[in-house]
Structure 1
Amino acid sequence: MHLSTVETRLAYVVREPSHCRFNIEVAHWPTQAILSEHLAVTPPVELRTYIEPGSGNRFLRFDALPGPLEVHYKADVEVDWTPPPDDLAQAPVNEVPDALLPNLLPTRFCESDLLAGFAREQFGALPPGIARVRAVADWVRRNIAYRPGSTTSTSTAQDVLAQRAGVCRDFAHLCIAFCRALNVPARLVAGYVWFDEPPQDFHAIFEAWLGGRWVLFDATGMAPVDRLVRIGTGGDAKDVAFSTVFGAMEMTGKLVSVLEHDPR
């Protein structure tokens, strides 16, 4: 069990009347408990929040008028995570639950159909199950360089494989695409977690459906998955973007902080 204080401050200049959606609040999820939290938007706006059914993702919506804008969120969260067994099996496709079939299909950032040949050639001979998914994550960690600034918000798994460099969301997208190409349901998880470097930021990892449960993996190796405070869960990054703006806004500052506490 781990206790963390997570915090983010986002600063903008609003150029024209805009509508905003933020996904920065800690998700309602079985493995984590929110002990306290605080949310403030400056200048004050009329806030509307909703929880996405199934994912536990919490979205904040409001209208912003021209001028400076700051969004501040802070929470104390307890994470209770159980390590997965080493013998989790891959479910045959005909036994994958109906609700999880979308996690087998290509998405905007995870072109599993285009990468299927590479995935089968690289990993197809390995026995299906958790060991093969670990092999996928290990391959990506060894063969893709973690290089901030090497990709953009529109870079896809195919782009990352071609240039062999990216950041955490790119590592996750490539693993998700490989898993789906191997008929393993997979999806992206975004959250807060402490790590030495690069500087603190939102972090993206992935999870695969094995042995009837979702199992977390971090192909970057930057932080233990048992310490991640989940914010969002989705098919790829488009589903868990920390901000979505309908209008014109310029980000002028972003501060993400994670402080871990001794659970004793």
Structure 2
Amino acid sequence: MKLRVGCELSYKILAETVFIFNIEVARLQRHLNLSEKLIFTPGNPSLAYEQPDLRNRYVQTVAQVGDFHVSYAAEVEIDPYRADPSTVGEIPIKNLPLDILPYLLPSRFAPSDELVNYAMREFGQCPHGHERVAMICNWLYENIEYQRGSSDAKTGAIEILVQRAGVCRDFAHLGIAFCRALGIPARYVTCYAFGLQPPDFHAVFEAYLDGRWWLFDGTRQAALDGLVRIGVGRDAAEVAFATPFGLIQPGPVKVWIERTDGTAECGPRTTDAISTEETGQNGGVF
């Protein structure tokens, strides 16, 4: 599936501000024929960095007082890896690659150490593997209300479990916390999501099973095989689409994703296990 994706961000800069943006499509082997353009208005100098292991792409620029606008547009063909979920099993912790360790540990928005008893009670007896993580997603969908404005950038998984309402980042954080509490490595994913209405930056999570990272989305707002990855991290703190250091007033945010052939729907949502990663040595993925 070939897609057009992009975003426009606007700010009023009240004092010189350093921005770090993470809005560009990740350069993955399953992101084919990527073409893109990133424009700052005014046209400020920028510094780009791509994490060699995660493929996250960061751009830093300094905005001066006045209006500041960011425009990003890309075309990419996505070719997700598919498998029968029943064939995707869990890996015992003793057999996990050591570079996977950070995704087993508690993090700011996913304090998994505080949820061990709860997770074991709810999911400890579930069949292990992809099916168990899918059951976590089912639980999220059935027990957490998707409600815009119900949380903010400081809300963590414990608060979402208590208030039973949140947005995509909250579903992802609670899913990650449950997985880690069960000994399943999990990480946070930001993406452009085909089928999401209204279009916006979307958050899902990945679980490390059978030597590969697999996509999961407890919100069921978009198709897993229509996700275009931007970044991955332990939680949202590591992959914010914009991180400003200064004094600003945020303006409107516009996000889009559409098929280049104009087709509105991608068809029935898949029941396959979906991954956009290729396995590598020591659990590395490309």
After TM superposition, the score normalised by the length of structure 1 is 0.96
What secondary structure sits across from 2:102 in the alignment? helix
Give 2:58's aligned residue: 59
What secondary structure sits across from 1:126 in the alignment? coil
State the Cα distance separating 1:263 from its structure 2 match: 10
Check the 8 A contact 2:195/2:226 in 1, yes or no.
Answer: no
Give 2:209's aligned residue: 210
State the Cα distance separating 1:165 from its structure 2 match: 0.4
Check the 8 A contact 2:42/2:69 in 1, yes or no.
Answer: yes
Give 1:195's aligned residue: 195
Cα 1:23–1:34 shift into 2, 3 Å: farther
Give 2:170's aligned residue: 170
- Give the whole-Å Cα distance in 2 for the aligned partners of 1:120 and 1:8: 40
Gaps of 5+ in 1: none
Check the 8 A contact 1:188/1:234 in 2, yes or no.
Answer: yes
% identity of equivalent residues: 43
- Give the whole-Å Cα distance in 1 for the aligned partners of 2:52 and 2:95: 23
Cα 1:131–1:257 shift into 2, 3 Å: same
What secondary structure sits across from 2:101 in the alignment? helix
Check the 8 A contact 1:168/1:220 in 2, yes or no.
Answer: yes
Give 1:227's aligned residue: 226
State how 1:230-249 maps to structure 2 within 5 Å.
230-249=229-248
AA of the residue aligned to 1:255? K
Check the 8 A contact 1:146/1:220 in 2, yes or no.
Answer: yes
State the Cα distance separating 1:84 from its structure 2 match: 2.6
What secondary structure sits across from 1:76 in the alignment? strand
Give 1:129's aligned residue: 129
Check the 8 A contact 1:16/1:249 in 2, yes or no.
Answer: yes
State the Cα distance separating 1:194 from its structure 2 match: 2.4
Give 1:255's aligned residue: 254
Cα 1:34–1:242 shift into 2, 3 Å: farther
State how 1:25-174 maps to structure 2 within 5 Å.
25-86=24-85, 87-174=87-174
- Give the whole-Å Cα distance in 1 for the aligned partners of 2:211 and 2:185: 11
Check the 8 A contact 1:34/1:75 in 2, yes or no.
Answer: no
- Give the whole-Å Cα distance in 2 for the aligned partners of 1:263 and 1:234: 32
What secondary structure sits across from 2:240 in the alignment? coil
What secondary structure sits across from 1:135 in the alignment? helix
- Give the whole-Å Cα distance in 2 for the aligned partners of 1:196 and 1:209: 25
Check the 8 A contact 2:194/2:223 in 1, yes or no.
Answer: no
AA of the residue aligned to 1:127? P
AA of the residue aligned to 1:30? Q
Check the 8 A contact 1:119/1:182 in 2, yes or no.
Answer: yes
Runs of 4+ residues deviating >6 angstroms? none
After TM superposition, the score normalised by the length of structure 2 is 0.89
AA of the residue aligned to 1:112? S
State the Cα distance separating 1:262 from its structure 2 match: 4.2
State the Cα distance separating 1:83 from its structure 2 match: 1.8
What secondary structure sits across from 1:113 in the alignment? helix
Cα 1:196–1:247 shift into 2, 3 Å: closer
Structure 1, residues 222-256: CA drift from partner, whole Å, max 9, x if none? 11111101000111001110000111111111100
- Give the whole-Å Cα distance in 1 for the aligned partners of 2:137 and 2:83: 16
Check the 8 A contact 2:195/2:223 in 1, yes or no.
Answer: no
What secondary structure sits across from 1:29 in the alignment? coil
Check the 8 A contact 1:89/1:211 in 2, yes or no.
Answer: yes
Check the 8 A contact 1:179/1:186 in 2, yes or no.
Answer: yes
AA of the residue aligned to 1:142? E
Give the stretch that moved more between structures: 58-67 or 25-34.
Answer: 25-34
How many pairs does the alignment contain?
A: 262
Check the 8 A contact 2:20/2:59 in 1, yes or no.
Answer: yes
